[in-house]
Copies of this chain bind each other. A is one copy, B any other.
Amino acid sequence: MSKHLYAAAVCTLVLLGAALAGCVAAEQSAGPAEDRDILYQASTIDALLLGAYDGCISIGELRAHGDFGIGCLHKLDGELVAVDGGFYQIRHDGTVHPVADVETAPFAAVTFFDSDETIMLDGPMNLTVLQERVLEHLPSENYFYAIRIDGTFPSVEARSVPAQERPYPRLVDAVADQSVFSFQNETGSLVGFWTPAFAEGINVPGYHFHFITDDRTGGGHVLDLYLEEAEVQIDMTPDFSMSLPTGGDFPGLDLSGGLQEDLATVER
């Protein structure tokens, strides 16, 4: 479990910086202010796209890094949603199950969710419009943000994927067997992230949302939605931390890129 010890000599830095040439260096800081403002992820999206579905991190370990996030389960057995500290598996059959600490994930991203900005949006909006409107509130496209959207959704289309067996197919082939669930007038939460473009290959550039109902009985990876009003909470996480799997398929993968088309297919 990684606990970063961060010296907070930032005051001195700020004073010195202010003296230098009136530059704006003074106000900027790359030093992690808070352990809670770290987006933590295990493995990379490109490894998942190439079929690295063996769990590489326990849910217990993920809990140590956050109470909010998304991912998938060992062997690609369903979608993972973490919200308010609960970790849930949304299976291919649509059922939702709390996940035990000993279970594992091949890919996941989590953080401790602390809203920096809360906005109310009025619809009607589909997923594309919702994302455009949230973008107007992001201070910059160059950070990772955790984003939580709560409301009663007139419609959400979400999917889950079935567990895979070796030899693992690529994700673009695995999602051909996805189940799609349609929710109407469900109260629930969109749980997800904005990833900056420069992290392509590492996580999904732009938005990536999973959905879970308030009663924790349904959800999945969001394909589309229709929304009339919603509360959007944005948590900027300027620090990023990633653990790469030290065994399994990961070391042997060709992670040199070029998987944009695969990603676009599996996300839609």
Residue A1 CB within 8 A of the other chain? yes
Q: Which of B9, B21, B60 contacts A7 (CB 8 A)?
A: B60
Q: Are B142 and A244 in contact (CB under 8 A)?
A: yes
- A61–B7 Cα distance when bound, in Å, is 6
**Contact A257-B58, Cβ < 8 Å, known A102-B7, A104-B13, A251-B139:** no
Q: Tell me the interface secondary structure of chain A in the complex.
A: loop
Chain B residues, CB < 8 A from A44: 198
**Contact A28-B243, Cβ < 8 Å, known A1-B86, A13-B74, A197-B256:** no
Q: Are A197 and B257 in contact (CB under 8 A)?
A: yes
Chain B residues, CB < 8 A from A55: 13, 17, 25
Q: Are B98 and A4 in contact (CB under 8 A)?
A: yes
Q: Which of B56, B199, B256 contacts A29 (CB 8 A)?
A: B56
Q: Are A1 and B98 in contact (CB under 8 A)?
A: yes
Chain B residues, CB < 8 A from A251: 139-140, 142-143
Q: What interface size band does chain A fall in? A: 35 or more
CB distance from A6 to the nearest CB of B (A): 5
Interface string of A1-35 (1 = CB under 8 A from B): 11111110110110011001101110111111101
Q: Which residues of A contact B (CB under 8 A)?
A: 1-7, 9-10, 12-13, 16-17, 20-21, 23-25, 27-33, 35, 38, 42-44, 46, 54-58, 60-61, 63-65, 74-75, 86, 97-98, 100-104, 139-143, 165-167, 196-202, 238-253, 255-257
18 A–B contact pairs at CB < 8 A?
A1-B86, A1-B98, A6-B103, A7-B61, A12-B102, A13-B74, A13-B75, A16-B102, A21-B75, A24-B248, A30-B43, A31-B243, A33-B246, A141-B255, A143-B251, A197-B256, A238-B243, A240-B243
Nearest 9 Cβ contacts at the A-B interface: A28-B247, A25-B54, A140-B251, A28-B248, A198-B201, A2-B32, A30-B42, A30-B243, A30-B56
Additional A-B contacts beyond A27-B247, A240-B241 (17; CB < 8 A): A5-B100, A6-B103, A7-B61, A13-B75, A16-B102, A23-B54, A25-B74, A25-B247, A30-B57, A46-B198, A140-B250, A143-B251, A197-B201, A198-B201, A202-B202, A240-B242, A241-B242
